[in-house]
Amino acid sequence: MSAPDNSFVHLHVHTDYSLLDGACRIDRLMDRAAELGMPALALTDHGNLFGAMSFYQSARAKGIKPLVGCELYLVETSRLEKHGRSDEGKTIFHLGLLARNLEGYHNLLKLVSDAHLRGFYYKPRTDLETLAAHARGLIGFTGCLASLVPQHLLHDREEEARQACGRFVEIFGRENYFVELQDHGIPEQQKIIPGLLRLADEFGLKTVCTNDVHYINASDAGPHDTLLCIQTGAKITDDDRFKFSGTQFYLKSREEMARVFKEVPDSVGNTQLVADMCDLEIPFPKGSERYPRYPLPPEICSEGKTPAQYLHSLCVDGLRARYHVDYAEIAAEPPAAAALDLIHKRPEGEKPQPPDYSNLTREQELVVRLGYEQAIIEVTGFVDYFLVVWDFIFWAKQHGIPVGPGRGSGAGCLVAYLLGITNIDPIRFGLLFERFLNPERVSPPDFDIDFCMRRRAEVIDYVRDKYGRDCVANIITYGTLGAKMVVRDISRVHDLPFAEADRLAKMIPDEINIELRAALERSAELKSEYERNPLAKKIIDQGFVLEGLVRNTGKHAAGIIITDQPLENFVPLTLQEGDVTVQFSMKAVDKLGLLKMDFLGLKTLTVIADAVTHVRRTSKPDFDIDDIPQDDPTTYELLNAGRTVGVFQLESSGMQNAARQVGISNIDDINAISALYRPGPMQFIPDYARGKKNPDAITYPHPLLENVLRETYGIIVYQEQVMECARVIAGYSLGQADMLRRAMGKKDAAAMAQERERFVRGAHEKHNIREAKADEIFDLLNKFAQYGFNKSHSAAYAVVAYQTAYLKANYPVEFMAAVLTAELGNADKVAHFIAECEAMGLTVLSPHINESRESFTPVGDKIRFGLAGIKGVGEAAAQKIIEERETHGPYQDFDDFVARIDSRAANKRVLEHLIKTGAFDYAGTSRKALFNGLDASMAQAAAQAKDRAAGQNSFFDLLAEPERPESKTADTRAGEPPQITGKTEESTDREFNDAEKLRFEKELLGFYVSGHPMNRYAGLSEAIDTYPVDELLKIDERRDFRLCGIAGNIVKRLSKKDNRPWAAFTLATRHASIGLNLFADAYERYGSQLAAETPVLIQGSVLLSSEGPRLNVRECYPLDAALSSTIRAITWLLHPEHPQLADFLKQLRETVDKSSGDTRLQLGFLFENRVATTSEISTALNWRLDPTAFQTLRAHPAVAGVQVEAKALELKQERRWGKRS
């Protein structure tokens, strides 16, 4: 590193937060600035402060003075005027600013926020009036070539340049306004330098030289040019694209700048003067200083209560409601009174010490714990925080918005439970307050709160109205150029064909956050391409520079900031998706001490709420999900059978296997397997199951830990158990134990050495435990601290899991209707859950224009498909259809519907989809007839509407009877969907054939209603399949299997190991659906046989893993082609005296004569007490099995039954099975 040179500082620098314009990643920028010995560095991104906090902290970490600024967009008129594309006519100008001090920084925040919230029109713009109002503490510059003064000089408007310069001098003051000189070898810049120097002389201004830094190294000019093409969508070969003039926009050394500006040497040294003028210290307050203050209700204020007293009164009410405990009465009892005295009458400045609960009754423990928790909340300054959270949750519940029981460590807080913030009893579940708010190391508490997905936004709006819309905002997110994305983007810029670009990108291993250099090391194929293909090398070399740069901005899914004063006092603001959003990342917001609340949308809460509504409507008007029994045997039977599709947290095959293995008998088991089913602790599930089933097999690390580990059968499952073990063995307080747990999680060697010494010493002093044994226990705790899960979090989610399991077990129709509704718009998920309905024996009825509502609805013991679930119909059209139906009665038939519904709500496409999915089948007219007559029906309806509007009904219209086709009826009763046989019909003028109907249903509904494509193989598929799907998923040993069904949801992927292609897909049998994998070796041989919505026969192996059985396909064939070689023999069971027997035998002979093959045919005659079977009809005339002919023969009146014999399963032996790719 060269010696620091204090005579030059870069004052004009664009990082990658000048989106797709700056190519300086902040970490790399600081590394290079440090190499060059830069004492200070400025940030002047275009129109925003997105990167300001990252820049500020990164510079400080490198010992570089950060100069925080922005290159604003300025208009000479009003920023509120919004017309035309003003940047093209150069009526938008650049304006460089730096914050001289904290006042200037706050003014910069206000200017940038105002530009985004009020001045945005193509760009975030400010104007001279706004600038003048917020100029104190700011340093201004004449700017780059795109700035106001240089533009006047460039166009020979000397007087206008002088006037503009004078105006800026008035705004900033002579000492805070500098003439900026730039020279990148561009003629226009060189033209205006004399004029700028004249202005400096005239106004007595100092000059500074700057380089308009957009990339770090000179060699980055090419990648930066590519970045500009990514921004504009241009190709590198386009002649008229946006590009920079020259290659000088990099972070130059002091020596390089001095050479360029040797004729104005003062301009080099003056940059250090500017740096010296800047003295910005951004404050980072601890605690709740910037948290919102809860506005106490007037009646509480009139009583003279403080926020802490109001919080206490709410908790006392909660204690009575939750536990039926009178606080005043119990607090007066001597043991409780003595404990509370220790908490409240402590020496000034001391924190409350954890109480000893060992000699207290349950009621006394509750009162003392409440006193202790509230004392900690008060001393740490978070009383208002609790009131704020309580208030919006209370409002949500009052307004019928489902709220989750809690998540994260907050469920361990008794105060939160008493306030109704959480709905998990921390006493019942043994949860620890110190895991949430640790008095030993105060960090802000963090309630992550789940709301119903559908109504979450209402709660956020309430908070905005309550605390002021200028005090509440969303949090921004930044999308970056990842390795694969950057390769694709650069390939497009260099005009590489899409297929080639895709091939190159797919050579990068599929790992999260992988970088290109690591990809080159891990992928031999990518390295080979890089070495042999010059264009690939160029793309990847440019990718090294561009990867990781910020590409775009977004909005955090849940994070909301709430402050006690307008946000623009602390942070810059912008708009994202129409919402006011903080420009700083979540980490920066936390560092600034602002309150971040996560308003999370949990789909499962919406499912539970909808299911409860259905139950109340159909059977139990007073049903309350919070009052369900916790020991329901039907629920545990469902869980232990692994029938958990749709059950929160427990529906994966691995979870199903874990449930069966453990044998769930209470909610604590759900809690434990939820915590254990993760990489690492998953290995202990068998130990947990063994201990549960055989208590004699349980061992404890030390006898003193039996009480701590009894509930998990000697295994440390939860972080809270790690804390309790440290308390019991070594005398840690729970706050100290939480510090130990954190140190273990961070793997800080120095801290761990100190903690080990303390632990061993404490174990010896407290229990005389030998050093070796104490070390052993410490190592065990350290191991499980890495694995352990937050018990508060898993307990909260175990409650939700149990609630969904209870609903599925006891109210299956209502529950599955709610599950399906939650997935409206996701055809794959809807199909998945409809397959589960079929497996449960539930019928999902097709859409019905007079019975369907928007969503899926229980109709007796069936579920009616919702209109909004039909692809292309949507919620708005569904609402209009239902609204008209409820106002004016059921639709008599299709013509009545078309006449009554507004064509703007239900256009032709909507009508087509309603017809194709059978919504008008009840009226008796075929789908094809309605479809073919749609234009005429719409034209007639439009004409009638026009006549009605004009009042021109004729005399004969008034007398005429309405015409109705004879076949049409208005029967609107619920019924079974029309069934389609296995026969294949020809399409007629009157109706679509079976295949067309099924295709339309699958396409528009996501599943088959009127039949199933596999019905064509009824009687054959049962013989082919070696196991039913549900049995296959329960197999607990390695076996081979054979299945046939319809392939769908095919997702092609590349192996992480060697980049070879493989595929994941679903196979829909007649009775179920199952996920399968066709890995690389098998894909190479059989991938071409796998096509969506086609019948296939697959053969594979069940492999066992810690996640349960895994099904790997080894062979895949078109089903029709495989039938004859798979079905060994068919025996036709006949009535010997049936009058049509001869006709059957004739048909059979004719069928066999047409196509000979490998399937033997036999006849069996049914006599009174036996079956007499003939030998084969003729070995020379074995049949080439055809499923259509088989169904025709099977349906013959003379046939009493059919016996189908399949060949034994034999797999090819090229490779028994492959490792997962």
- The amino acid at residue 971 is D
Angle at 673 between CA 672 and CA 679, to 5 degrees: 115
Residue 93 has pLDDT above 80, yes or no: yes
Q: How would residue 85 be classed by pLDDT, with cut points 50, 70 and 90?
A: low
If DSSP codes are grouped into helix, strand and coil, which group holds residue 1157? strand
Q: Which two tokens stand for residue 801?
A: 């899991």
Whether the predicted pLDDT of 967 surpasses 70: no
- 265 within 8 A of 18, measured Cβ to Cβ: no
What is the rounded CA–CA span in Å between residue 519 and residue 727? Answer: 46
Tokens 């150069």 correspond to: 90
Amino acid 643 reads R
CA 1129 and chain centroid, separation: 52
- Give the Å distances, CA to CA, from 715 to 55, 689, 792, 946, 1001: 46, 11, 17, 77, 51
Confidence of residue 120 (pLDDT cuts 50, 70, 90): very high
The pLDDT value recorded for residue 1179 is 45
| pLDDT score of 279 | 95
Q: How far apart are CA 491 and CA 488, in angstroms?
A: 5
Q: Tokens for 400, please give them.
A: 């019928």
Is it the case that residue 1221 has pLDDT exceeding 50? no
pLDDT digits (tens, 9 = 90+) for 549-560: 999 999 998 899
Helix (H, G, I), strand (E, B) or coil at 1: coil
pLDDT of the residue at 957 = 44
Please say if the pLDDT value at position 395 is more than 90: yes
Using the 8-state DSSP alphabet, how is residue 161 labeled? Answer: H
Q: Which residues neighbour 163 within 8 Å (Cβ) at sequence distance 6 or greater?
A: none
Q: What is the DSSP letter of 411?
A: G
d(CA 541, CA 350): 60
Confidence class for position 1170, pLDDT limits 50, 70, 90: low
- CA–CA distances in Å: residue 503 to residues 454, 492, 514, 539, 1088: 40, 13, 17, 13, 19
pLDDT tens for 321-346 read 999 999 999 999 999 999 999 999 88
Q: Tell me how far CA of residue 584 lies from CA of 49, 53, 550, 952, 1190, in angstroms.
A: 8, 7, 13, 65, 68
Report the percentage of the chain scoring pLDDT > 70: 93
Distance CA 1094, CA 1111 (A): 20
Q: pLDDT-based confidence at 1172, cuts 50/70/90? A: low
Q: How would you list the strands of the sheet with 595-602, edge to edge?
A: 448-452, 595-602, 550-562, 472-480, 579-582, 573-576
* Per-residue buried b or exposed e for 425-439, using 16+ beta carbons within 10 Å of the residue's own CB: bbeebbbbbbbbbbb
For strand 550-562 and strand 92-99, is the pairing parallel, antiparallel, or unpaired? Answer: unpaired
Range name among 52-66, 222-236, 246-260, 1054-1068 with the lowest pLDDT average: 1054-1068
How would DSSP label each residue in 781-802?
Answer: HHHHHHH-B-HHHHHHHHHHHH
**What is the pLDDT confidence band of residue 1171, given thresholds at 50, 70 and 90?**
low
Contact assessment for residue 51 and residue 26, using Cβ atoms and an 8 Å cutoff: yes
Q: What is the DSSP string of 587-599?
A: HHHHHTT-EEEEE
pLDDT in tens, 169-204: 999 999 999 999 999 999 999 999 999 999 999 999
Q: What is the pLDDT of residue 707?
A: 93
Residue 1061: what pLDDT?
87
Residues 6+ positions from 818 with CB-CB distance below 8 Å? 606, 607, 608, 609, 610, 611, 614, 807, 856
Structure tokens belonging to residue 868: 């909004």
Tokens of 149: 């003064």
pLDDT at 1174: 62
Is the confidence at residue 524, as pLDDT, over 90?
A: no
Q: Are 410 and 792 within 8 A, CB to CB?
A: yes
pLDDT (tens digit per residue) in 1102-1161: 877 655 667 889 999 999 999 988 999 999 988 888 899 999 999 998 888 888 888 888
Prediction pTM value: 0.80
What are the angstrom distances between the C-alpha of 154 and each of 73, 160, 169, 186, 203?
19, 11, 20, 12, 19
* Per-residue pLDDT at 84: 61
Per-residue model confidence (pLDDT) at position 1169 = 60
For residues 831-852, average pLDDT:
87
Tell me the C-alpha distance between 299 and 305, whole Å. 9
What's the one-letter identity of residue 319?
L
DSSP 8-state secondary structure symbol assigned to residue 962: P
Sign of the dihedral through C-alpha 1087, 1088, 1093, 1095? negative
Query: Residue 1207 and residue 1210: Cα distance in Å, rounded?
Result: 9
1039 pLDDT above the threshold of 90? no
Q: 532 pLDDT band (50/70/90 cuts)?
A: very high
Confidence of residue 248 (pLDDT cuts 50, 70, 90): very high
* Close Cβ partners of 8 (under 8 Å, ≥ 6 residues apart): 254, 257, 258, 268, 269, 271, 272
| Mean pLDDT of the region 417-439 | 92
Does residue 977 surpass a pLDDT of 50?
no
